[in-house]
Structure formats: C-alpha cells, structure tokens
C-alpha cells in the first residue's frame, strides 16, 4: 500500500483482531502490548463467550496469523506515552520496558527450575506466586520468559544465566523509548477489574474467601493456581455453596456509574463451572436485574437448567466472616418477599465491574470520557472494552470495524 | 393476585417538595435496607418505603411504622448507588405522615414553608393578645416591665390566687395543651390500629391498650432515653449525643414547668424567683443550658454533615432547629434582661417573644417535625410489640 502503518495499542482479543484484519488486507501494523505476552483478559479466562470456548481456541489461531504475517510487528511490555499529529500522520512515543530475556529464549524452562526468588502473579490476581523468571502463561506469545529483576533472590541471576543454554538472559537490557510514525491508531487497551477494596462493605481483602469474578476464572482455569479445581482460598476445599454478588461496583454512582454488561453472564457461567465440578454445589446469585442482553437470554435458561442456582433479587450490601470456619454470612433484602436474608456460604464471588485499563491515566493526545473510555475521533479509533464494556464477540466486531476505519484513513493518506 | 396500582401524583410532588426530591432515582436494589443498622430482618426499610413513595401510596406509608423507626443516620444515603438519598426521603415521608395524620392540615403548611415565619407568630400573637387583654383587662404597656408581665390585676378564683400573667398563660396554654393532647391521642390511636392491620397481627396477639403500655411502653421509653437505636448509626453517629442532650433538656424543662405550675398556679408561690438561690430555677437553668448546648451542637454537626454531603437539612429541619434555639435564647434572655436595670423595660418584649415561640413549639408538637416525639415513640412501642409477637409465633 505504501502508506504509513496502523498502530494498534493493546494486544488483547480486540487489538489482535484489529491487527490481523488490517494486516491481512495489506496494511502495515504495529501492535504494542503492555504485558509481556499478547492475549489480554481472554487468556485469563476458563471459557469465554458466546460459545464458552477455552481461550486457546480463539488465541492460538490468531497468534498463528500474526506469526505468519510479516506486516505485523509486535512489541510487548510497551506503553504509549504520548500521541501528537493528526489523522493520517501521527507521531507516537512508546516506552518499552526491558524483558531481560532476548529472542534466543526457547522457553525450555531450565532457568525457572534454578530460580529461587518469587513474585506475586498478577496474571493470577495474586492467587499464587511465580518465580522471578517466569513464562507469562503456557501459550504465551511471544513464547519467551520474562525476568522480574526486583524479585530475584541473591545468587539467582548467576544460577539462571548458568542454566540457560541459549544465552537468552540479558540483565543489561535498558528501557527504550521509540517513536513511531503512523497513519491511524486503533485503541484497544481493554479493561481492568474495578478495585474491590473500594467496596468497603463487601469484605474483599479482609475476608479470605471473598474473591473476584476474575479470580474465579483463574481458579477454574486448567493453567490456574489450582490446576482448574475450584477451591476456596482459606483451606483449599471445594465450596458447596457460593454467593455471587452482582453489580459489585457497577451501576453505582459511588463507583462505576455504568452497567459492565458481562458480569451477570459471568456469574451464570461460574455457576456452570461449579456444576461441572460438583453437580450438588449451590450458587446463590444476588442481583438487582439479571442482564443477559440479546441472545444471551438463552444462556440464562441454560444456566438455570444445568446448574443449581437460586436467584435472589436484592443487592448484597453486607458480608461478615465466621472466624472459625471462614464461611461468610451475606446479607441482602429479598425484595420479592420483603424480608432480609442472612445466608451462610463457603465462598463469595464479587461480580466486579469493568473499568477501562487506562482509567486514571492521562495520555497526551488521547481523549477519554469521565470514566476513562476512549472517545471516537477520526484517526484514533477505540474498540473493544476500551470503548465500552463488551463481551468477546462484540469486541471483535468493533475491532473489525476499527480496522476498516483505520484502513480508510491511511488510504486517504 | 391482582393489585390495583393507582399512583397519586400529588403525593409524589408533595414528598419531593419537603426534602424527598431524589426519590425517583431509586432503582430498588435494596442496598439501603441492608446497610441500615436499624432495619430489622422481618420488616426491613427503607427500600420498600422508597417504592411506595415513588407511587405516591400515601395510605400505605401512613400505616407503616418503619417510616418512624428510621433515625436518618444516613448510612443508606452514603451507600445508595443512585444518589437517591433514602434517608432524606424518609424524613420527607415523616412530614407527609404528620400532615396526613392530624386535622387542620393547613397548619402543617406553616411549619414547612417560609410563609409560616409570618403566619405562625401572628396566630400565636392573636391568642396571646386575646388572653392578655382579657386577663390584664385591656392592653398592657409592652415597653414597661411593671405593666407587662409584672403588672395587671390579681385574681382570686376559688382557692387559687393568680396574678394576671399567670392566668394569661393558663388561659392560652392549657387549652392549647389540651388541643395538642386530644389530636395526638386520636392520631396515635388510629395509627396503632393501622399498624396492627399492616403487620397482620393475629387476633390472639391483639392486646388492649393497658397491656401494651404495661409491657412495651416502659422498655420503649428506656430505649428512647438511652438512645439505643440512634447510637447504632454509622454515617452520622454524631447525631445521637446532641439529640440525647436535647431530649433530656426538654424533660428537665417540662419538669420545671410542671413544678412551677404546681407551686405558682396552685400553691400560690409566685415567680419571679431568684435564679441564684431557688432550686427550681437551678433545675430550669440546667435544662436551658443543656438545651442550648444540644441545639448548637446539632447546628454545628449538621453544617459539617452538609459539607460532607452525608445529610441534608431541609426547611422543616431548620425551622425546628431555630425555633428551639430561640426558645433557649429568649428563655435566658428574660432571666438576664430583667436583672439588668437599664434593660428591664424590654423584658416585656422578650417575654412576649418567648411566649410566641413556646406557642409555636407547642403547636409544633402536632404540626412540625417535632411530632416525631409522639409518633416515633408510638412506632418504637409497636416495633417492640411486633418483634415480641413474631418471636411468640415462631415458638
């Protein structure tokens, strides 16, 4: 095409889709991702919507498309610092953090075996630790280890370097600032779970067995901290009765004023996870309104049939812990009976809302609304959950749309 | 089951006008009823009252003790995801209930609208002047303390020996008190019967008034005296203490008034008494100081809460607060001014102002926010009764 490339910011499902779609019709694409691997939130899930596929299903084929396409350049551990210019001609300053592992890495894993230092795994939302040198997840892209220098134990570096047969460890790597000239920008930075500790009446961070919906995904994931067994954190026993707290942070002017779209569906899905592992396990879903938009109404019926779910119309606003058993007593008013319910459960899952990943950040040249979602602008096109809370399917549709918009802009030049 | 939904738009508007303007924001998530430290498992509030208010279901609200069990802690408003301020709406509902529960509704308006700042003193002055002219046998000079209140003829009625000012107070305030008592009694009676119906108390547990009073009134009073509900508030926990002081001050001042009534009006030991040496004056002064302390503490607390947006002060709230403040100030004013020779002659005016305020406050026991004195007490008694019945039934 001979035009300037398209910059795709964010290597989750939306960014990957946009990058592949644009590159496969001939555009040059630069794909940057903040984390050490592509994959984003989808990689952290057990199953994703609409068809409850495991993440390997959607990511693997896309990683292959990226690998085989010379027009896509991928930078991981990279973040946009500043955008200037106008549609058709942007200058974007990008900071690339050092990985301390070069392209020689074959992910053989010898380094990990000798490493003693540990770090809390943010990929697993703190549910386990990894070594200081670690593979982001089993099907990471690029398939390379990452070194967290701050987590190294004394002597680790020497041991790791000695263990690596490929000279892949490079402790002298420096942070780099790159400037890209691009014609259009697709903004696909996705979402982060809302900070659950801000919901001070729900006990997250105080009570071990109050977890978030994304932690539930990690517990159910075969590459998760429990190898896919849903076990409650306090004693690693399978919970018999789990309460799901809907609208934890969402639809709340004190927190996130919007509906996060996916949380009701996620809790229904989690009820299916429970049923899959123990058909007797009970799920209590405390809701304001069960929102299963569009064709997802069918999913609600499916969950009702396949899992043991009790729906209680009333928001949980109080959670207490039994210090002996670490069980939790959740309180809500059942608005249909007009009486309060105090239900003892083994574990509580907060159906935490989605917040744009860039909420609270200020990136010069990028326009966001009061909640941190990107505004549509000619030349900088938001897609996926950076634009609004969405499911995977719709994220991908917005990504394809964004790719077309971006192509139009670079074609015009 | 068919339910006839007949929303009453006027009622909704009325609630919105007296501090409940946010009620339509509620989307019934019931966070409020759960975070409320006062709401019970069996009959939680204020979620239900919010929807009743949204539809303007006046009768259901009138018959619901929960409206009174709320102490406006503000925990519900703090956690409300929609900024619907259930605490403030409940306060507005109480004003609605007060208005609907008593006859001569127009008087209620004067306590809730600035218009009352003119009309209420005029009503008070009308009755006071009437009593004054009758007992002083013509209008006394209001710029001369020796003419009013310390002048006028003396009366010997049966065994009583009464100076004009005492007789004047009796002829104005005794009928007013009787009016207030009769109205409250009939309102409470109606309210109680409605509560019993609303909560579907089985016939077997519907006790007579005497049994109710004997069994539940004393515990209710001790609960009110200790403010054991009020202290459970989280968001505005500062409110319990000054309110308690205010309650105690009213009790002390009522006691003082009763003693003065017996000693002066009946036994003939007439005032003014020396504030330094007379024990009844000591009692009155202690009450007055507590009153001023309580009300000023409430004013300071409210302005802080207002700044933090944890509580809103509506017009009817302010009106009552200032009424009580001026009650205290004029009360002490008389005592101080009459002992200062140069100022003695304005005692008449301060005295008159004090009477006007006392009149407004007396009438306010029925028509202002002050009515919570009777109605909340009723609801607390009912709540203890209801909880007891629930317990008996579950056995």
Q: Which sequence spans correspond to the domains of chain B?
A: 9-101, 106-394
Cross-chain residue pair A201–B40, CB shorter than 8 Å: no
What ipTM was reported for this prediction?
Answer: 0.90
The rounded distance, in Å, linking the Cα atoms of A129 and A38 is 20
The whole-number pLDDT of residue B144 equals 86
Residue pLDDT, tens place only, B130-148: 999 999 998 998 888 888 8
Cross-chain residue pair B44–A333, CB shorter than 8 Å: yes
Place of tokens 């000591």: B282
Whether pLDDT at A328 is above 60:
yes
Residues of A in contact with B387 (CB under 8 A): none
Residue pLDDT, tens place only, A198-216: 999 999 999 999 999 999 9
Mean pLDDT of A60-70: 96
Whether pLDDT at A1 is above 60:
no
For A260, the 3-state DSSP assignment is: coil
Determine whether domain A6-97+175-190+357-412 maps to CATH 3.50.50.60: yes
Q: How far is B298 from chain A (nearest CA, A)?
A: 27
Query: Does the bond joining B347 to the residue before it have cis omega, within 30 degrees of 0?
Result: no
Chain A contacts in chain B segment 61-80 (CB below 8 A): 79
Cross-chain residue pair A315–B34, CB shorter than 8 Å: yes
Mutation pick from B81, B199, B234 vs chain A, by most beta carbons of A within 10 Å, is: B81
Residues of B in contact with A339 (CB under 8 A): 41-44
Domain coordinates in residue numbering, chain A: 6-97+175-190+357-412, 110-163, 195-353
Mean pLDDT of A34-40: 98
Identify the closest residue of chain B to A259 by CA–CA distance. Answer: B81
For A339, the 3-state DSSP assignment is: strand
Q: How far is B219 from chain A (nearest CA, A)?
A: 25
Tokens at B129, concatenated: 């002047």
Instruction: Give the lowest-confidence range in A105-109, A281-285, A368-372, B281-285.
Output: B281-285
Cross-chain residue pair B30–A317, CB shorter than 8 Å: yes
Instruction: Give the lowest-confidence range in A64-68, A357-361, B337-341, B377-381.
Output: B337-341
Long-range contacts (CB closer than 8 Å, 24 or more residues apart) made by A329-334: A330/A243, A330/A245, A330/A284, A330/A286, A331/B34, A332/A286, A332/B30, A332/B34, A333/B30, A333/B33, A333/B34, A333/B44, A333/B47
Which of A315, A340, A342 faces B31 most closely, judged by CB atoms?
A315
Q: Which of B56, B25, B31, B62 lies closest to B46, judged by CA?
A: B31
Alpha helices in A105-154 (DSSP H): 110-114
Cross-chain residue pair A340–B44, CB shorter than 8 Å: yes
Across chain B, mean pLDDT equals: 92
Give me the phi and psi of A218, to 5 degrees please: -65, -35
Cross-chain residue pair A253–B81, CB shorter than 8 Å: yes
Instruction: Give the lowest-confidence range in A67-76, B56-65, B144-153.
Output: B144-153
Angstrom distances, CA of residue A356 to CA of A54, A193, B376: 24, 9, 47
**DSSP annotation string for B236-292:** TGGGHHHHHHHHHHHHHHHHHHHHHIIIIIIT--PSP--TTT-HHHHHHHHHHHHHH
Is residue A229 within a helix (H) or strand (E), and if so which, with residue range? none
B348 touches chain A (CB under 8 A): no
| A interface residues, B as partner, C-beta within 8 Å | 201, 247, 251-255, 288, 314-318, 331-333, 335, 338-340, 342
The rounded distance, in Å, linking the Cα atoms of A15 and A7 is 10
Which of A253, A316, A339 faces B44 most closely, judged by CB atoms?
A339
The whole-number pLDDT of residue B23 equals 95
Chain A contacts in chain B segment 3-42 (CB below 8 A): 27-35, 39-42
Q: Provide the whole-model pTM.
A: 0.91
B31-49 burial code (b ≥16 CB/10 A, e <16) = bbbbbbbbbbeebbbbbbb
CATH number assigned to the domain with residue range A195-353, chosen from the 4 options 3.50.50.60, 3.10.20.30, 3.30.465.10, 3.10.50.30: 3.50.50.60
Alpha helices in B199-239 (DSSP H): 209-212, 218-226
Mutation pick from B1, B29, B50 vs chain A, by most beta carbons of A within 10 Å, is: B29
Q: How far is B258 from chain A (nearest CA, A)?
A: 45
Whether pLDDT at A363 is above 50:
yes
Q: What CATH number has the domain spanning B9-101?
A: 1.10.1060.10
């Amino acid at each position: 095409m001979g035009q300037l490339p398209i910059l795709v910011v964010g290597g989750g499902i939306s960014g990957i889709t946009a990058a592949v779609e644009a590159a496969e019709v001939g555009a040059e694409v630069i794909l940057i991702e903040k984390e050490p691997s592509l994959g984003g939130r989808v990689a952290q899930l057990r199953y994703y919507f609409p068809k409850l596929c495991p993440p390997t299903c959607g990511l693997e084929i896309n990683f292959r498309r990226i690998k085989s396409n010379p027009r896509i350049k991928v930078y991981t551990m990279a973040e946009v610092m500043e955008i200037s210019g106008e549609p058709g001609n942007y200058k974007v300053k990008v900071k690339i953090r050092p990985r301390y592992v070069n392209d020689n890495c074959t992910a053989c894993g010898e380094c990990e075996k000798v490493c003693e230092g540990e770090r809390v795994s943010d990929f697993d939302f703190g549910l386990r630790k990894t070594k200081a040198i670690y593979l982001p997840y089993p099907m990471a892209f690029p398939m390379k280890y990452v070194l967290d220098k701050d987590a190294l134990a004394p002597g680790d570096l020497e041991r790791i370097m000695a263990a690596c047969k490929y000279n892949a460890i490079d402790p002298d790597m420096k942070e780099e600032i790159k400037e890209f000239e691009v014609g259009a920008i697709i903004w696909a930075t996705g979402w982060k779970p809302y900070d659950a500790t801000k919901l001070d009446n729900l006990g997250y961070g105080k009570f071990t067995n109050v977890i978030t919906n994304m932690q539930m995904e990690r517990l159910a994931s075969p590459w998760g901290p429990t190898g896919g067994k849903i076990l409650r954190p306090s004693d690693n026993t399978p919970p018999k009765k789990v309460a799901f707290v809907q609208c934890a942070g969402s639809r709340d002017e004190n927190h996130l004023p919007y509906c996060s779209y996916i949380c009701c569906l996620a809790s229904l899905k989690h009820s299916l996870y429970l049923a899959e592992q123990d058909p007797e396990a009970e799920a209590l879903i405390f809701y304001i309104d069960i929102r299963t938009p569009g064709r997802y109404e069918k999913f609600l019926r499916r969950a009702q049939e396949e899992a043991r779910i009790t729906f209680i119309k009333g928001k949980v606003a109080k959670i207490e812990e039994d210090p002996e058993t670490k069980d939790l007593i959740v309180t809500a008013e059942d608005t249909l009976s007009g009486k309060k319910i105090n239900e003892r459960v083994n574990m509580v899952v907060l159906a935490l809302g989605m917040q744009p990943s860039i909420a609270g950040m200020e990136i010069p040249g990028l326009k966001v609304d009061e909640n941190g979602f990107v505004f549509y602008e000619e030349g900088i096109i938001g897609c996926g959950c950076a634009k609004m809370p969405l499911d995977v399917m719709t994220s991908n549709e917005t990504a394809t749309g964004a790719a077309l918009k971006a192509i139009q802009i670079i074609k015009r030049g | 089951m068919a339910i006839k939904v007949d929303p009453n738009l006027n009622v909704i508007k009325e609630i919105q006008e007296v501090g409940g303007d946010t009620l339509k924001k509620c989307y019934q998530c019931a966070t409020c009823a759960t975070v409320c430290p006062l709401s019970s498992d069996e009959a939680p509030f204020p979620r239900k009252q919010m929807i009743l208010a949204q539809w303007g279901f006046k009768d259901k609200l009138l018959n619901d003790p929960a409206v009174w069990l709320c102490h406006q802690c503000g925990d519900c408003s703090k956690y409300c995801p929609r900024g619907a301020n259930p605490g403030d709406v409940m306060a507005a509902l109480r004003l609605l209930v007060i208005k609907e529960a008593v006859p001569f509704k127009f008087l209620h308006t004067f306590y809730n609208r600035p218009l009352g700042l003119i009309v209420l003193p005029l009503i008070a002055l009308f009755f006071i002047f009437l009593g004054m002219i009758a007992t002083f046998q013509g209008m006394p000079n209001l710029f001369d303390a020796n003419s009013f209140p310390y002048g006028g003829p003396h009366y010997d009625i049966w065994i009583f020996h009464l100076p004009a000012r005492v007789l004047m107070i009796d002829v104005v305030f005794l009928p007013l008190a009787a009016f207030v008592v009769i109205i409250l009694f009939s309102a409470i009676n109606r309210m109680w019967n409605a509560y019993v119906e609303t909560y579907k108390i089985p016939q077997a547990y519907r006790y007579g008034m005497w049994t109710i009073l004997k069994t539940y009134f004393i515990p209710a009073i001790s609960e009110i005296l200790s403010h054991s509900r009020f202290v459970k508030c989280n968001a505005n926990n500062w409110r319990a203490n000054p309110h308690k002081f205010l309650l105690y001050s009213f009790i002390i001042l009522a006691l003082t008034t009763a003693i003065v009534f017996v000693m002066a009006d009946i036994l003939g030991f007439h005032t003014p008494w020396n504030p330094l040496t007379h024990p009844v004056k000591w009692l009155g002064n202690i009450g007055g100081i507590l009153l001023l302390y309580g009300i000023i503490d409430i004013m300071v607390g409210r302005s802080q809460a207002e700044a933090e947006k944890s509580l809103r002060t509506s017009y009817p709230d302010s009106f009552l607060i200032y009424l009580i403040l001026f009650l205290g100030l004029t009360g002490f004013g008389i005592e101080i001014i009459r002992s200062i020779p140069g100022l003695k002659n304005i005692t008449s005016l301060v005295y008159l102002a004090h009477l006007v305020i006392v009149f407004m406050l007396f009438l306010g026991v029925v028509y202002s926010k002050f009515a919570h004195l009777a109605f909340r007490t009723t609801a607390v008694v009912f709540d203890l009764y209801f909880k007891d019945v629930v317990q008996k039934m579950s056995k």
